[in-house]
A = this chain, B = another copy of it.
Amino acid sequence: MASLEDLAVSAFINILSAIGFLLAFAVLRVQPINARVYYPKLFISGLTSSTRGSSKGVLRFVNFNLWSYVVSFFSWMPEALKKSQTEIIEHAGLDSAIYLRIYVLGLKIFVPLTVSALLVIIPVNVSGGTLLSLKKDVFFNDIDKLSISNISDGSERFWVHLVMAYLFTIWTCYILYMEYCNVAFMRLHFLATQHRRVEQFAVVVRNIPSISGHSITESVDHFFQKNHPEHYLSHQAVYNANGFAKLVRQKERLQNWLDYYQLKFERNPAKKPTGKTGFLGLCGQTTDLIDYYSQRIGILNKRIDSERQRIIKDPKAILPVAFVTFNSRWGAAVCAQTQQSKNPTQWLTEWAPEPRDIYWKNLAIPFVSLSIRRLLISITVFALVFFYMIPITFVQSLANLEGLEKVASFLRPVIELKFIKSFLQGFLPGLALKIFLYILPTVLLIMSKMEGYLSLSAIERRAAAKYYYFMLVNVFLGSIIAGTAFEQLYYFLHLSPTEIPRTIGVSIPMKATFFITYIMVDGWAGIAGEILLLKPLVIYHLKNMFLVKTDRDREKAMDPGSIGLAENLPNLQLYFLLGLVYAVVTPILLPFVLVFFILAFLVYRHQIINVYNQEYESAGAFWPHVHSRIIASLLISQLLLLGLLSTRKAAHSTPLLIILPLLTIWFHKYCKRRFEPAFRNYPLEEAMEKDTLEKASEPNLNLNAYLADAYLHPIFRTFDQVEMEDIRIDKSQTDKVSPQRNESSSTCSPYNEYDHDSSIYQYDHDDSSFYQYDHNSSHLYQYNDHDSSTHYVYHHGI
């Protein structure tokens, strides 16, 4: 256990590093060269294009105005607070606004908790005086004087803790209820005021049965015309374009290499780039690389061509999935919420996610394999949570010197060098763990993708759930009970159910200093580091230096990503857990949590306004998860307090605590019934209202044209017009569609249909430029720094 001085030192270091990060941010963010890292959203919305050209020379990269540095250190905070919630919703979407509310929720819960805990529990604890009376004998922690450990066994003072536990639970539930109300209202209001959107009229149908003699398209038409005669409009078949997308990606990779060597050749026309083409460029014949890549791209183009033909011609390329559109929101709402077929596993309907939220790859997963996939993934997650130390220990033992020497005895002389030895021994084992923890969110995201959910938002929510379990077991329980999670599992399986909360409960107060340190490192310095965006900053500048050739490239290089709910939500929920668990036990931890919430709120508000880009809009669909995990934290805190008190001989008060978890579970069930349907279904009342309004205001709206190819796989937007006709939904409508479709599809995806596959790439030695000739448009594109090249590079960046 750390003493109070240790804690002060830790606080000093962490506050210093937090200030250091903020200073670095203050300096870096006013440099114009970093603008694309710290204010990418301004570029995306095109606000800075005019101001950017004004400064010239070195001023374009470095800022010499000293006053701006001073201002910069403080100004971002009021800047971050300036925007109202409505403006944030407009600017960054409802998801971001609701995400920020979680921090406010944290403040709303913990400010009164902190005040009352500091005013009531700490005086009671200090005057409890068990430890004070033992002062001479025991070397004790100063923090413990402020915690429940300071109360003597069987004291009547435990009543205070009991009453506070009740008050805290009631307050937390009250705030949670109000917040759920608010969020549900925000969501409904958002959906109600939203302009017409394609997903309001669309339903995704899975597991369409194959009827012999009928194509999927025919049976979908027949089924919905029969069962939704008054509402069915048309449908968009889904093509299995995964193979096609793979080829396109492959081509893009090759194209990148080609570009690289061509650039090299441009700069140094004397020397043609040559190299080996075998494994990793290490073996094989030495050839002209530009020719080599051009040839490979040519071959690939043919394969892409034939694949495209296959998709269009082969009926097997049409998946048993379709996006069905309706002529009214009411019709779509009805279809999404009802069971269609007598066989409950066929014709499964659910709301279509918005087009940019769709994870297209998963549409090709056969429905029957979904339950097997989910079984396997849940077993894997369980193993990952509880046995994750095993492979790491294995890797560590390999990295261990004895192991390494055994495996590769010829390395012995090198390893025996003192410097290398100490590096390997001191650094490698830790590195293995660090690498694992660093890639964990990505691994969890991939696992969630394999589960077969159709939308990115659902995949992120699932990944967040998995990460939460990992954090709960490995960070929270793992820190309280020493040993790996696997040892804990073994331990718990051999402990009686009543013993578990008792064993953990007893260790809770002892770990307070550890968690305070954790909050300072992860929650203070870590969050201050977040605003610095160190990783994106470095990557951007590296890319800028070596790879960026055009504005389009620069835009790709500055891609800020989205908030990353999969990682941030569980991190946040851990702070709720810590705050609630320690609120009664060691309330001195609460101010540290409060500082985290304030700082993180400011930082993320700033980041959402200036940095992160919105990938999709789920209208706060993650809130039920946030709510239920705070409830889970509440339950954990109650059970641990129960366990702790039961060891402290507080026989009068302990039994009364049993009611608390029961009431909490009941509250959760109530909230679930009360609010959750608002996050799952689209009420008919709402749908009807919007339909009526729209019919009155736009009586001549051509919905069919509006919806025409909203749900077309983005890859097909590269097809040419003639081929598109075959892919597109409603053949009779295409002529009317074309002008409108572009308008509507531009919101869904920035791709314009344009054929780039029948083009020929040519290199002109005279002007050191690379020309692309397009047969369809009979246009020649010069590959260099002018307008059309943007278009070109863009196309390969699909």
Cβ-defined partner of A338 (8 Å) among B192, B333, B372, B666: B333
CB of A686 closer than 8 Å to a CB of B:
yes
Q: Which of the listed residues A338, A340, A499, A670 has the most CB atoms from chain B within 10 Å of its own CB?
A: A338
Q: How far is the CA of A17 from the CA of B497 in the complex (A)?
A: 46
Q: How far is the CA of A574 from the CA of B137 in the complex (A)?
A: 61
A253 vs chain B, min Cβ distance (A): 39
Cβ-defined partner of A688 (8 Å) among B226, B495, B681, B682: B226
A369 vs chain B, min Cβ distance (A): 12
Contacts beyond the supplied A333-B338, A492-B496: 15 A-B pairs with Cβ under 8 Å: A226-B688, A227-B685, A227-B688, A228-B684, A334-B334, A338-B683, A339-B684, A340-B683, A342-B685, A342-B686, A344-B677, A375-B662, A493-B498, A496-B499, A497-B497
Per-position contact with B for A633-670: 1 when CB-CB < 8 Å, else 0? Answer: 00000000000000000000000000000100010011
Q: How far is the CA of A226 from the CA of B345 in the complex (A)?
A: 33
A345 — which chain B residues lie within 8 A by C-beta?
673-674
Nearest CB to that of A334 among chain B residues?
A: B334
Q: How far is the CA of A379 from the CA of B230 in the complex (A)?
A: 49
CB of A155 closer than 8 Å to a CB of B:
no
Nearest CB to that of A490 among chain B residues?
A: B498
Nearest CB to that of A678 among chain B residues?
A: B344
Q: How far is the CA of A686 from the CA of B343 in the complex (A)?
A: 10
Interface of A is mostly: helix
Cβ-defined partner of A340 (8 Å) among B347, B662, B685: B685
Q: Find out whether the CB atom of A338 lies under 8 angstroms from the CB atom of B334.
A: yes
Q: Find out whether the CB atom of A375 lies under 8 angstroms from the CB atom of B495.
A: no
Cβ-defined partner of A375 (8 Å) among B188, B339, B666, B682: B666
Cβ-defined partner of A371 (8 Å) among B223, B492, B673: B673
Q: How far is the CA of A344 from the CA of B677 in the complex (A)?
A: 6
A227 — which chain B residues lie within 8 A by C-beta?
330, 684-685, 688
Q: How far is the CA of A666 from the CA of B496 in the complex (A)?
A: 27
Q: Find out whether the CB atom of B344 lies under 8 angstroms from the CB atom of A669.
A: no
Nearest CB to that of A347 among chain B residues?
A: B685
A228 vs chain B, min Cβ distance (A): 8
Q: Find out whether the CB atom of A379 lies under 8 angstroms from the CB atom of B342.
A: no
A688 — which chain B residues lie within 8 A by C-beta?
226-227
CB within 8 Å of B: which of A657-710? 662, 666, 669-670, 673-678, 681-686, 688
CB of A742 closer than 8 Å to a CB of B:
no
A330 — which chain B residues lie within 8 A by C-beta?
227
A685 — which chain B residues lie within 8 A by C-beta?
223, 226-227, 340-342, 347
Q: A226-B688, A497-B493 are in contact. Are A338 and B340 (CB under 8 A)?
A: no
Q: Find out whether the CB atom of B494 lies under 8 angstroms from the CB atom of A494.
A: no
CB of A337 closer than 8 Å to a CB of B:
yes
Q: How far is the CA of A669 from the CA of B373 in the complex (A)?
A: 13
A545 vs chain B, min Cβ distance (A): 52
Q: How far is the CA of A674 from the CA of B675 in the complex (A)?
A: 28
Q: Which of the listed residues A345, A496, A499, A675 has the most CB atoms from chain B within 10 Å of its own CB?
A: A496
A326 vs chain B, min Cβ distance (A): 13
A375 — which chain B residues lie within 8 A by C-beta?
662, 666, 669
Q: Find out whether the CB atom of A339 lies under 8 angstroms from the CB atom of B666.
A: no
Q: Find out whether the CB atom of B496 lies under 8 angstroms from the CB atom of A495.
A: yes
Cβ-defined partner of A498 (8 Å) among B337, B339, B494: B494
A58 vs chain B, min Cβ distance (A): 58
CB within 8 Å of B: which of A330-372? 330, 333-334, 337-342, 344-345, 347, 371-372
Nearest CB to that of A491 among chain B residues?
A: B496
Q: A496-B496, A497-B493, A666-B375 are in contact. Are A342 and B683 (CB under 8 A)?
A: yes
Nearest CB to that of A676 among chain B residues?
A: B344
Q: How far is the CA of A782 from the CA of B88 in the complex (A)?
A: 83
Q: A371-B673, A666-B371 are in contact. Are A339 and B340 (CB under 8 A)?
A: no
Per-position contact with B for A202-228: 1 when CB-CB < 8 Å, else 0? Answer: 000000000000000000000100111
A655 vs chain B, min Cβ distance (A): 14
Q: Which of the listed residues A497, A676, A684, A688 has the most CB atoms from chain B within 10 Å of its own CB?
A: A684
A585 vs chain B, min Cβ distance (A): 23
Query: Could you pull out 22 A-B pairs where Cβ atoms are within 8 angstroms?
Result: A223-B685, A227-B330, A227-B684, A333-B338, A334-B338, A337-B338, A337-B339, A339-B682, A339-B683, A340-B683, A342-B685, A342-B686, A344-B673, A344-B675, A344-B677, A371-B666, A371-B670, A379-B662, A492-B496, A492-B497, A494-B496, A494-B499
Q: Find out whether the CB atom of A683 lies under 8 angstroms from the CB atom of B496.
A: no
Per-position contact with B for A418-447: 1 when CB-CB < 8 Å, else 0? Answer: 000000000000000000000000000000
Q: How far is the CA of A495 from the CA of B670 in the complex (A)?
A: 33
Q: Find out whether the CB atom of B496 lies under 8 angstroms from the CB atom of A371.
A: no
Q: Find out whether the CB atom of A344 lies under 8 angstroms from the CB atom of B674.
A: yes
CB within 8 Å of B: which of A141-182? none
Nearest CB to that of A344 among chain B residues?
A: B677
Nearest CB to that of A230 among chain B residues?
A: B230
A223 — which chain B residues lie within 8 A by C-beta?
685
